[in-house]
A = this chain, B = another copy of it.
């Protein structure tokens, strides 16, 4: 069995270990020769070029993705050529366009923040007036890790973005915390949900994940049911990540969707019986899904952002391994650069404080 992955980032890279273990052949179409997933890269090319992607896809059983940026025109050509694409173009369209995402989620009855499409500063002013003078403005396409998202208090604070088209304005949700619910779904319909997790952002970028979400029992069923409704409603195959706000009144609102393995699921490599990368491969191959049970009462994942200021990753890794022999250190084969996700560390324990201490201490070796 052969899976083709478009995109050679760390998500494709982290599919390599489960592909090796399951005996599945992985092929990656990478953007550059030195991608994170270079060990599995069988082609280097432009994923916006239909001929390149079609040539790559010829010999695989299913095509899936490291990211959601493959143009619809390319996706539909793949499908027309008989290539099995999971998730499919219609599902991916929803992940690609935040305006469409909001509309479709609303149609599915999923709770979302109040929002409106704004075409200019005047319309943004109106939205601000209607929503306590603060709004979260988003470019509908291409954003990630806090890019393309801005909190504004004045109607002219998004002027530079209107040149690119309409924007999405959303209410600023006063949330208690952010959560994420991941599921995997097969074409045949089987769904498996991991426990609800808590995510901690810094500067719009995921910094830490705690699995399961502390005190999240009351929300678990609700989050899993909501995520199942979205996965089925959008016919998502593979992993679906739903980023959630827990509001100050204890309600869940859907923030974002991702239709691929997601940073909020990295903990599962070390913390769940079946991790999100193996499960994604199983799901897109329509293989039976594995157990999503946790392997320890608490698992904490801490991202390595930027990397050591002296650029000496070998030294940092040595220190991390020496200081924390129970931590699992994951590096993505990327050069250190400010703000860049170059790896993550996971620790697990019967004690949450202990897991958090170990993961943070190991990650700190990379500061």
Binding site for B on A (CB under 8 A): 1, 13-14, 16-18, 20-23, 25-26, 39-40, 269, 273-274, 282, 287-291, 293, 295-296, 313-314, 317-318, 321-322, 325-326, 328-333, 343
Distance between Cα atoms of A128 and B227 in the complex (Å)? 71
Q: Judge whether A318 and B20 touch: CB under 8 Å.
A: no
Q: Judge whether A330 and B288 touch: CB under 8 Å.
A: no
Q: Judge whether B288 and A322 touch: CB under 8 Å.
A: yes
Number of copies: 2
Min CB distance A327 to B, Å, is 8
**Given A273-B325, A273-B326, A295-B296, 14 new contacts (CB under 8 A):** A13-B20, A16-B17, A16-B20, A16-B39, A17-B18, A20-B39, A21-B330, A22-B329, A23-B333, A25-B333, A282-B321, A288-B318, A288-B321, A290-B325
**A289: chain B residues within 8 A (beta carbon):** 325
**A313: chain B residues within 8 A (beta carbon):** 23
Min CB distance A334 to B, Å, is 9
**A343: chain B residues within 8 A (beta carbon):** 23
**A25: chain B residues within 8 A (beta carbon):** 333
Min CB distance A191 to B, Å, is 13
Min CB distance A289 to B, Å, is 7
Q: Judge whether B290 and A326 touch: CB under 8 Å.
A: yes
Q: Judge whether A295 and B293 touch: CB under 8 Å.
A: no
**A325: chain B residues within 8 A (beta carbon):** 273-274, 288-291
